[in-house]
Amino acid sequence: MPPLALRTLQVTRVHGASRALADDELVVEEPLAIRVDGETLAVTMRTPGNDRELALGFLFAEGVIASIDDVSAIAHCGRTGDEGRGNTLEVTPSPGARLRLPEAAMHRGTLTTSACGVCGRRSIDDLLARCGPVKSVGEPAPGVLRAALDALRETQRLFARTGGCHGAALVTFGGEHVATFEDVGRHNAVDKLVGSRLLARGLPLDRHVLAVSGRTSFEIVQKAAVAGIPVVAGISAASSLAVEVARRAGITLVGFARGDSCVVYAGDERLRLEER
């Protein structure tokens, strides 16, 4: 199991009128530049660790690569020991691969992503044209939402230590935990998760549930749609655009999933309630 990306700093703890110095563990946040064939395509702030999965999931969500077969190598740039070596990742396309680089990135050198807040109905139309409606194989078992949120809570090692990062967990329709990834950015956590399934050649995820911490916004549902995930459950609310994407893409979107209660924003016909 890889070491956690933690940094210990001295802080002042205040209790009423008293204060005391103490050491506190913080989650690490650093930039990652993703380069494709020598050109910087995007820079994202992330928690170091699982950078390969993050880059692959990001490129897949943005439609740059269609599968792991489009990539021949992926590695950090620079020499071992160089300062900042771990913050640049070079993705080498496979011979003959035709990467789908967005026109904006080709002109500006950086990609405006779905996580940047530049989105709307045209983005939804483009998304649906690229991946089509999401369909599931079978149906979720009763209690699978509880299992997904329990798995997320129980496997967030960084959050347990710092309280300062997001998580994304994947479980099967039967409630079996597949993987959990954490990051300071909720969209990065999902990219790491999807990237890990790309490496395992496990796509599409048409019999899985994605559980996410915090609110569920457009980019989370967009990434789920591209990966073919039919059910997305968050512990907080969903945004209006996330609901619109879910309804048009055929995704079951659940918010405020806690215990045996939740709010179903889209696709309630896919869910079977727990028997009492």
Instruction: Give the residue numbers annotated as catalytic, written as ranges.
Output: 116
Rounded-to-integer distance, Cα 131 and Cα 139, Å = 21
Taking phi first (over 0 means left), then psi (-120 to 50 degrees means alpha), and beta for anything else, what does residue 55 get?
alpha
Cβ atoms of 16 and 7 within 8 Å: the answer is no
Rounded-to-integer distance, Cα 146 and Cα 154, Å = 12
What is the β-pairing status of strands 166-172 and 208-212?
A: antiparallel
Length of the chain (residues): 276
